[in-house]
């Protein structure tokens, strides 16, 4: 299977006064269609910079980022905007909802930029909100919803255009542990059902435990990649063997 995301020799250098800070220092990474990959690391490790590079929100100093066969590092800003509209969905820690808009209107926004008609986008937004369990909150504004409900709106907004890749930046960072579990399970269920590739940044090992693979990053370098999906399959096979022995 060909990777949907292929990163080679990715570097990002910032100039702070006369000092050069290497946020990323030569990252190679492949992510495959339908995978759930967590990028984990402490504050300042480079994980958020890596996510921003993959999302086309920052230009790399050096290296290549290929998503769905297209080189992001070669694109202009307007090309990147169009690419994100066609291929990418975002789930943010801070929800980033428009406070004056209803849930349906917030979820509709990506389709507004894609030129989808009013009736079609409102119907799609309402259907996606029902999918995330918010059928009773279609006309509610963010101030009328809990943090968990607002994040469900954010998930619906990210998924409504059926993107190939979903990027999630600490999506449970502002939620309590119980709500975090519910939100993670929801993201996983919908992403798996619809075949989305999910790339999530976190500092929390309990969140990373849900992923197929965990990419550990430190000082701008990938130091370890753990294939949890393979580990779980091996444990299940071993358990089955013991039961039949």
Question: What local confidence, expressed as pLDDT, does residue 245 receive?
Answer: 65
Q: Residues 91-132: pLDDT tens digits?
A: 988 889 999 999 999 999 999 988 899 999 999 999 999 999
Q: Identify the residue whose tokens are 């590739």.
A: 197
CA distance 124 to 160: 7
Question: What local confidence, expressed as pLDDT, does residue 100 receive?
Answer: 96
Model pTM score: 0.89
Average pLDDT, the chain: 92
- Whether 7 and 181 have beta carbons less than 8 Å apart is answered as no
Cβ-based burial of 195 (10 A; exposed 0-12, middle 13-18, buried ≥19): exposed
Q: Residues 147-193: pLDDT tens digits?
A: 999 999 999 999 998 899 999 998 888 888 889 888 888 888 888 88
Structural domains in the chain? 5-244 (3.40.50.300)
Q: Residues 35-82: pLDDT tens digits?
A: 999 999 988 899 999 999 999 999 999 999 999 999 999 999 999 999
């Amino acid at each position: 299977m060909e990777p949907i995301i292929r990163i080679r020799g990715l570097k990002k250098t910032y100039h702070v006064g006369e000092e050069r800070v290497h946020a990323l220092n030569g990252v190679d990474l492949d992510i495959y269609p339908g995978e759930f990959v967590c990028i984990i690391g402490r504050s300042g490790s480079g994980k958020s910079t890596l996510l921003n590079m993959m999302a086309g929100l920052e230009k790399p100093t050096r290296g290549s980022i290929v998503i769905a066969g297209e080189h992001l590092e070669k694109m202009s800003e307007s090309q990147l905007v169009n690419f994100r509209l066609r291929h990418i969905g975002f789930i943010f820690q801070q929800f980033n909802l428009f406070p004056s808009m209803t849930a349906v209107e917030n979820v509709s926004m990506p389709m507004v930029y894609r030129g989808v008609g009013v009736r079609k986008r409102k119907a799609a937004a309402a259907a996606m909100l029902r999918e995330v369990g918010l059928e009773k909150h279609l006309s509610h504004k963010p101030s009328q919803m809990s943090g968990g409900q607002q994040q469900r709106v954010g998930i619906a907004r990210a998924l409504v255009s059926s993107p190939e890749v979903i990027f999630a930046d600490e999506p449970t960072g502002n939620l309590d542990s119980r709500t975090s579990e519910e939100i993670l399970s929801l993201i996983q269920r919908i992403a798996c059902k619809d075949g989305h590739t999910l790339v999530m940044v976190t500092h929390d090992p309990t969140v990373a435990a849900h992923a197929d693979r965990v990419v550990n990053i430190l000082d701008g370098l990938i130091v370890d990649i753990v294939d949890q999906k393979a580990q779980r399959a091996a444990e299940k096979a071993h358990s089955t063997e013991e039961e039949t022995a």
